[in-house]
């Protein structure tokens, strides 16, 4: 039998983190003790109060039947209340909130709702690979917006050709940013809203890292800007905020027509989010937030250890204001892939090559803060001894 992949699958680039997993497995088989700083998966457990809530409600058979794609009314109300408390943004839980099986699911599906074959998505480069993958699945094509260090890793909207602007249906933005750890200010979001209104483009803001910040300057929501809800939506998740990556719980909020379009896709491709997890999600949003403050303090200490260690080793490193990542230029004369392979082979440290997030990421690498301080210190010492600079 001749089995042939559909062209939409055959044209996909290898998924970045699957490739990294293969490299790690091969290194372990060679007997290397791996320090994995490649993937942003929190190493600490979900907060106790959230776990207890799931244990309490999971036995209830009322939650064992098919959920609605939109999400429990009480969960959507909790999301709306959190947006009001955290950002001063009011959203209607009935029409402007939809639950997601993790924000990745919604990001992957949004293009199916609004991109026709030949349409364009404006995609950050470097950026989360799913923005482009979702566009390809919908038959669209991505126009990559380079995020350059000299521009604060913000896209230069003026550099987008006029014919591309006219054909674009969606623009993806993501701040605090993965992989660069850059943050955006109000002026940037105001430019995005104006740009989207002028060209009738849907803004999709991935805000999954808004609660992983350091210091008193809290990242803002795109929806705080006047007119933002007229042009787009914001994706969010409990994954990084509450160490819940495996729970797969998130949401999208914003423009009711865009939310409804995403909802139409969800009614046809999934059966909604397990309602007991939604109840636990309410506990996350409305319960004791003290552990979240402690979590940020832990990440800040880890950030300081990694940034100082890399700087002492000779790397040019900017200390991030948010996210779980440190993004830095690789040594002169090395490609991103060569540098990361060298780290793995000589130091047993897994880093993510910047070009895996897009061509504009070439020349950079990303390390995560998802291991204890002692392990980070060991990683830095190994990197120094490896003599990669």
Interval 282-299: pLDDT, tens = 999 999 999 999 999 999
- Determine contact, residues 206/172, Cβ cutoff 8 Å: yes
Spatial CA neighbour of 63 closest among 274, 247, 283:
274
| Same domain, residue pair 346 and 303 | yes
Q: How far apart are CA 20 and CA 28, in angstroms?
A: 12
Q: What is the pLDDT of residue 29?
A: 82
| Same domain, residue pair 184 and 272 | yes
| Same domain, residue pair 322 and 279 | no
- What is the average pLDDT across 46-71? 96
Which carries the bigger pLDDT value, residue 77 or residue 6? 77
| Same domain, residue pair 218 and 365 | no
Q: How many distinct structural domains can be found in the chain?
A: 2
CATH of the domain at 360: 3.90.1150.10
Letter string b/e over residues 162-177, b meaning 16 or more CB atoms within 10 A of that residue's CB? eeebebbbbbbbbbbb
Q: What is the pLDDT of residue 164?
A: 98
| Same domain, residue pair 309 and 380 | yes
- Determine contact, residues 382/311, Cβ cutoff 8 Å: no
Q: Please report whether residue 51 resides in a domain.
A: no
Q: Which residues contact 149 (CB under 8 A, 6 or more apart)?
A: none
Q: Please report whether residue 2 resides in a domain.
A: no
Both tokens of residue 46? 């979900």
Both tokens of residue 55? 């244990």
- What is the average pLDDT across 248-271? 96
Predicted confidence (pLDDT) at residue 15 exceeds the cutoff of 80: no
Q: Please report whether residue 50 resides in a domain.
A: no
| Same domain, residue pair 282 and 295 | no
- What is the average pLDDT across 377-383? 96
pLDDT band at 33 (very low <50, low <70, confident <90, very high): confident
| Same domain, residue pair 324 and 354 | yes
Q: How far apart are CA 131 and CA 40, in angstroms?
A: 17
- The beta strands (E) that lie in the chain are given as 35-36, 97-100, 120-125, 141-146, 168-174, 202-206, 232-237, 250-254, 325-329, 349-350, 352-353, 364-368
| Same domain, residue pair 112 and 163 | yes
Report pLDDT digits (tens) over 89-145. 999 999 999 999 999 999 999 999 999 999 999 999 999 999 999 999 999 999 999
Q: What is the pLDDT of residue 134?
A: 96
Domain that holds residue 14: 7-45+290-386
Global pTM?
0.95
Predicted confidence (pLDDT) at residue 172 exceeds the cutoff of 80: yes
Q: What is the pLDDT of residue 387?
A: 84
- What is the average pLDDT across 343-354? 93
Predicted confidence (pLDDT) at residue 305 exceeds the cutoff of 80: yes
Directed axis angle between helix 256-269 and helix 103-114, to 10°? 100
- Determine contact, residues 35/349, Cβ cutoff 8 Å: yes
| Same domain, residue pair 134 and 205 | yes
| Same domain, residue pair 179 and 96 | yes
């Amino acid at each position: 039998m001749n089995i042939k992949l559909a062209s939409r699958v055959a044209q996909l680039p290898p998924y970045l983190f699957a490739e990294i997993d293969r490299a790690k497995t091969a290194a372990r088989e060679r007997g290397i003790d791996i320090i994995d700083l490649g993937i942003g998966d929190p190493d600490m457990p979900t907060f106790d109060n959230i776990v207890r809530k799931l244990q309490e409600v999971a036995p209830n058979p009322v939650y064992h039947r098919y959920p609605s794609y939109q999400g429990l009314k009480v969960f959507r109300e909790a999301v709306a209340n959190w947006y009001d408390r955290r950002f001063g943004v009011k959203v209607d839980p009935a029409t402007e909130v939809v639950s997601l099986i993790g924000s990745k699911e919604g990001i992957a599906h949004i293009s199916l709702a609004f991109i026709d074959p030949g349409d364009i998505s404006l995609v950050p480069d470097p950026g989360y690979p799913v923005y482009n993958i979702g566009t390809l699945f919908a038959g669209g094509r991505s126009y990559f917006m380079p995020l350059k260090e000299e521009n604060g890793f913000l896209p230069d909207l003026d550099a987008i050709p006029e014919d591309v602007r006219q054909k674009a249906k969606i623009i993806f933005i993501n701040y605090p940013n993965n992989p660069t750890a850059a943050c955006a200010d109000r002026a940037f979001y105001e430019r995005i809203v104006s740009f989207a209104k002028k060209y009738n483009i849907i803004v999709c803001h991935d805000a999954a890292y808004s609660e992983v910040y350091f210091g008193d300057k809290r990242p803002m929501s795109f929806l705080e800007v006047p007119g933002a809800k007229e042009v787009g939506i914001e994706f969010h998740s409990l994954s990084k905020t509450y160490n819940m990556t495996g729970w797969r719980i998130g949401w999208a909020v914003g423009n009711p027509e865009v939310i409804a379009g995403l909802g139409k896709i969800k009614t046809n491709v999934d059966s909604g989010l397990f309602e007991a997890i939604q109840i636990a999600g309410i506990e996350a949003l409305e319960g004791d937030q003290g552990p979240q403050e402690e979590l940020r303090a832990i990440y800040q200490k880890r950030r300081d250890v990694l940034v100082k260690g890399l700087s002492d080793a000779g790397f040019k490193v900017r200390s991030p204001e948010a996210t779980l990542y440190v993004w830095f230029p690789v040594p002169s004369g090395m490609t991103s892939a060569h540098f990361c392979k060298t780290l793995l082979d000589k130091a047993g440290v897994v880093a993510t090559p910047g070009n895996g997030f897009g061509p504009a990421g070439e020349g950079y690498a990303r390390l995560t803060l998802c291991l204890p301080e002692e392990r980070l210190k060991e990683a830095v010492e190994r990197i120094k001894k490896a003599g990669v600079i």
